[in-house]
Structure 1
Amino acid sequence: MTFRARREKLRAILNGTRCIRPGSVYDAISMRIAADLGFELGMFGGSVASLAVLGDPDVALITLTELAEQVRRMSRASALPFLVDADHGYGNALNVRRTVQELETAGAAGLTIEDTLLPPAFGEPRTQLISLEEGVGKMKAALDGRGDPSLVILGRTGAVSITSLDDAIARAKAYEATGVDGLFFTGIKTRSELDAIAAATSLPIVLGGAPEEMSDLDYLASRRVRIALQGHAPIAAATQAVYDTLKALHEGTSPKQLKGLASGELTARITREVEVKARSRDMLGLKS
Structure 2
Amino acid sequence: MNWTDRRQRFRAILSGNRCVHPGSVFDPISARIAEDLGFEIGMFAGSTASLTVLGAPDLIVLTLSEFAGQAYRINRAGNLPLMVDADHGYGNALNAKRTVEELETAGVGGLSLEDTDLPTPFGTAKPRLTSIAEGVGKMKAALAGRQDPALCIAGRTSAVQITGLEDAIARGKAYEEAGVDALFFVGVRTRAELDAISAATRLPLILGGVSGDLTDLAYLSARRVRIALQGHQPFAAAVKAIHDTLRALRDGTPPGKLTGVADAELMKRVTRDSDYGRWTKDFLGG
TM-score normalized by the length of structure 1: 0.99
The code of the aligned residue for 1:142 comes to A
The residue that corresponds to 2:182 in the other structure is 182
Distance (Å, rounded) in 1 between the aligned partners of 2:72 and 2:82: 12
Q: Secondary structure at the match of 1:207?
A: strand
1:192 is matched with: 192
Residue 210 of structure 1 and its aligned partner are, at CA, apart by 2.2
Distance of 2:220 and 2:251 partners within structure 1: 48
Aligned mates of 1:207, 1:86 — CA distance in 2: 15
Where do 5+ consecutive residues of structure 2 fail to align? Answer: none
> Which residue identity is paired with 1:255?
P
Partner of 1:83: 83
Task: Tell me how far apart the structure 1 counterparts of residues 187 and 228 of structure 2 sit (CA, whole Å).
Answer: 13
CA deviation digits over 1:155-208, x for unaligned, max 9?
Answer: 000000000111000000000001100000000111100000000000000000
Aligned to 1:55: 55
1:100-141 deviation per Cα after TM superposition (whole angstroms, max 9, x unaligned): 000000010010000000001111110010000000000000
Match of 1:17 in 2: 17
Name 1:35's counterpart in structure 2. 35
Identify the residue that residue 268 of structure 1 maps to in structure 2: 268
SS in 2 for 1:80: coil
Q: Give the 5 Å matches for 1:197-276.
A: 197-276=197-276
Q: CA–CA distance in 1 between the matches of 2:121 and 2:89?
A: 16
Deviation sequence 1:210-238 (CA, Å, 0-9, x none): 23111000000110000000000100100
Separation in 1, partners of 2:210, 2:130: 23
| 2:72 maps to 1:65 | no
Instruction: Note if 1:138 corresponds to 2:109.
Output: no
RMSD: 0.6
Aligned counterparts, 1:90-129, within 5 A: 90-129=90-129
The AA in structure 1 aligned to 2:49 is: A
Q: What SS does the aligned partner of 2:244 have?
A: helix
Q: Aligned partners of 1:143, 1:190: CA distance in 2, in Å? A: 31
How many pairs were matched up? Answer: 286
| Cα deviation digits, residues 4-49 of structure 1 (max 9, x gap) | 0000000000000000011000000000000000100000011111
Which one-letter code corresponds to 2:271 in the other structure? T
SS at match of 2:153: strand
CA distance in 1, matches of 2:266, 2:276: 15
Q: Which amino acid aligns with 1:83?
A: M
Gaps of 5+ in 1: none
